[in-house]
Structure 1
Amino acid sequence: MTKYKLEYIWLDGYTPVPNLRGKTQIKEFDAFPTLEQLPLWGFDGSSTLQAEGRSSDCVLKPVRVVPDITRTNGAVVLCEVMMPDGETPHPSNKRATILDDDGAWFGFEQEYFFYQNGRPLGFPENGYPAPQGPYYTGVGFKNVGNIAREIVEAHLDICLAAGLNHEGINAEVAKGQWEFQIFGKGSKRAADEMWLARYFLERLTEKYSVDIEWHCKPLGDTDWNGSGMHCNFSTSYMREVGGKEYFEKLMAAFEAAREDHIAVYGPDNHMRLTGKHETQSIHQFSYGIADRGASIRVPHSFARNDYKGYLEDRRPNSQGDPYQIASQILKTISSVPTGATASVAA
C-alpha cells in the first residue's frame, strides 16, 4: 500500500470570479487511485462564501483525478461543491448544470500576465518598457526576461504529466504577458482541463514570488493589450456537414444572443472589448475571415472547406469561467436547426 497525497481542489463562492481552493488529505491505495475510489470530503463553507457560520458544512465531490509530479505520490482531485447531503449541487456549482455534448469540441487560448511587486514582470519601477511589438512570440532576455520561460516550460511539463490536453505556449503581445492553450471534447471536459491548468500555474508561481494576473485589462485604458481567452469551437455537424447557409444562420443566432454571451464571458469585458487592440466593440457583433478585430474569426480553412470545421469566438476574456462560456456557446449552437430549410430558432 502507498500513501498518496490527494489535493482536493474546488471553486469557491466569490463573484464575479471564483477562486481556486485546495486542501490535502492522505489515503492509502494499492496503485494510483481511480475516481471511484475517492471519498466525498467536507469543508468549512463559511470561509469560502459558500455557507454561513451557523450551518457551515459543504461537501466536495471528486469529478476528476490527475497525477501531480510536483509531489511524491501526488494527485490533484478536481471537485464539485455539494450541499451537506452530498447529492444536491451547491448554488455556486456551475459545472453540475451546464449544457454538455461530447461532440462539441472546445479549444481555449488562456492569456494572462505575470505580476511581481504590483506590475507586470519586466516592467520598470516607474513608467513603461518599450512599446508593444517585439514581445509576441519573443525570444531573448530583453523581450521575455529571465524566469517567465522557466515557469511556462515547467507548467507545460506538469500539465502534460497530468494527462491534460495542453496544446502549446507562447509569449504574448504585451511585456510580461503569456498564453497557453487547452483543448477538450465536451463542455465539462474542456473546462475541467482549463481549471486544472490554471491551478497548476497558480501553485507553481508561488516559489518564484510571482502572481498570475487574470484580469482582462490590468493596465487599464492604456495602449497595452488586455488578456482574452479566445474560444475555438465546433460540433459534429459543423465539422462533418456545415455549409454556408447553416453558417449564416449560426452567425445570426450568435448576434441575437450577444448579450447572453457577454454576460458570461468574464467581468470588466467593456474595458477590453473597446474596438481597439484586435477586438470588436462589446456593443456590436461581427464576423469575418481571418479578422482578429471581429467578434468571431472565421479561419481561411473553414471557408475553403465548404464552411466546415471550427470557429473562434474572440470575446471571452481571461477571467471567464470556461464552464459557462462553453455552455453558452453550445446553447446558441443548439438553437440553430440543422435542416437546410429551417430558420434560426427563436
Structure 2
Amino acid sequence: MTKYKLEYIWLDGYTPVPNLRGKTQIKEFDAFPELEQLPLWGFDGSSTMQAEGSNSDCVLKPVAIFPDAARTNGALVMCEVMMPDGKTPHPSNSRATILDDEGAWFGFEQEYFFYQDGRPLGFPESGYPAPQGPYYTGVGYKNVGAIAREIVEEHLDLCLAAGINHEGINAEVAKGQWEFQIFGKGSKRAADEMWIARYLLQRLTEQYGIDIEYHCKPLGDTDWNGSGMHANFSTAFMRETGGKDYFEALMKAFDENLEDHIAVYGPDNHLRLTGKHETAPWNKFSYGIADRGASIRVPHSFIKNDYKGYLEDRRPNSQGCPYQIASQILKTIALVPTSAEARVSAAA
C-alpha cells in the first residue's frame, strides 16, 4: 500500500468570481486511485462564503482526478461542493447542473497577467513600459523578462504530466501578459481541466513571489490590452454536417441571446469589450470571417469546408467560469434545430 497525497480542489462561494481552494488528505491505495475510490470530504464552509458559522458543514464530492507531478505520490482532485447530505449540490456549485455533451468540443484560450509588487511583471515602478507591439509572441529579455518564460514552461510540464490536454502557450500583447490553451471533449471535462490548469499556475507562482491577475481589464481605461478567454467550440453536427443555412440560424440565435451570454462571460466585460483592441462592443453581436473584432470569429477553414468545423466566441473574459461559458454556448446551440424543415417550422 502507498500513501497518496490527495489535493481536494474546489471553487468557493465568493462572487462575482469564485476563488480556488485546496486541502490535502492522505489515503492509502494499492495503485494510483480511481475516481470511484475517493471518499467525500467535509470542510468548513463558513470560511469560504459557503455556510454560516452556526451550520458550517459542506461536503466535497470528487469529480475528476489527475496526477500531481509536483508532489511524490500526489493527486489533484477536482471537486463539486455539496450540502451536508453529500447529495444536494450547494448553491455555489456551478458544475452540477450545466449542460454537457461529449460531442461538444471546447478550446479555451486563457489570458492572464503576471503581477508583482502591485503591477504587471516588467512594468516600471511608475508609468508604463514601451508601447505594445513587440511583446506578443516576443522573445528576449527586453520583451518577456527573466522569469515569465521559466514559469510558463514549468506550468506546461505540470499540466502535461497531469494528463491535461494543454495545447500551447505564448506571450500576449501587453507586457507581462501570457496565454495558455486547453482543449477538451465535453463541457465538464474541458472546464475541469481549465480549473486544474489555473490551480497549477497559481500554486506554481507562489515560489516565485508572483501573483496571477485574471481581471479582464486590470490596467483600466488605457491603451493596454485586456484579457480574454476566447472559447472555440463545435458540436458533432457542426463538424460533420453544418451548412450555410444552419450557420446563419445559429448566428441569429446567438444574436437574440446576447444578454444571456454576456451575463455569464465574466464580470466587468464592459470594460474590456469596448469595440477597441480587437474586441466587439459588449452590447452588440457580430460575426465575421477571420475578424478578431467580431463577437464570433469565423475561421476561413469553416467557410471553405462548406460551413463545417468550429467557431470562436471572443467575448468570454479571463475571469469567466468555463462551466457556465460552455453551458451557455450549448444552451444557445440547442435552440437551433438540426434539420432544415424544423428550422423553417421554428421560424414560422
TM-score (structure 1 length as normaliser): 0.99
AA paired with 2:76? V
Displacement after TM superposition at 1:343 (Å): 2.9
Displacement after TM superposition at 1:341 (Å): 3.1
SS of alignment partner, residue 17 of structure 1: coil
Within 5 Å, which residues of 2 pair with 1:158-197?
158-197=158-197
Within 5 Å, which residues of 2 pair with 1:28-43?
28-43=28-43
Within 5 Å, which residues of 2 pair with 1:1-346?
1-343=1-343, 345=346
AA paired with 2:206? E
| In structure 2, distance between residues paired with 1:140 and 1:341 | 57
Structure 1: stretches of 5+ with no match in the other structure: none
- The ranges of structure 1 where at least 4 consecutive aligned residues each deviate by more than 6 angstroms after the TM superposition are none
| In structure 1, distance between residues paired with 2:9 and 2:341 | 47
AA paired with 2:309? G
Displacement after TM superposition at 1:298 (Å): 0.1
Displacement after TM superposition at 1:283 (Å): 1.1
Displacement after TM superposition at 1:204 (Å): 0.2
Task: Indicate the percent of aligned positions where both proteins have the same amino acid.
Answer: 85
| In structure 2, distance between residues paired with 1:282 and 1:44 | 38
CA offsets per residue over residues 48-101 of structure 1, 9 Å max, x none?
010001100000000011111111111111100000000110010010000010
SS of alignment partner, residue 106 of structure 1: strand
AA paired with 1:191? A
SS of alignment partner, residue 115 of structure 2: strand
AA paired with 2:40? L
AA paired with 1:101? D
| In structure 2, distance between residues paired with 1:82 and 1:65 | 18
SS of alignment partner, residue 50 of structure 2: coil
AA paired with 2:302? F
| In structure 2, distance between residues paired with 1:84 and 1:53 | 14
| In structure 1, distance between residues paired with 2:342 and 2:219 | 46
CA offsets per residue over residues 235-288 of structure 1, 9 Å max, x none?
000000000000000000000000000000000000000000000101100000
Displacement after TM superposition at 1:186 (Å): 0.7
AA paired with 1:308? K
| In structure 2, distance between residues paired with 1:340 and 1:275 | 34
AA paired with 1:285? F
| In structure 1, distance between residues paired with 2:126 and 2:18 | 32
CA offsets per residue over residues 276-321 of structure 1, 9 Å max, x none?
0000101100000000000000000000000000000000000000
CA offsets per residue over residues 123-150 of structure 1, 9 Å max, x none?
0111000000000000000000000000
What RMSD over aligned residues (CA atoms) do the two structures have, in Å? 0.8
| In structure 1, distance between residues paired with 2:30 and 2:100 | 34
AA paired with 1:226? G
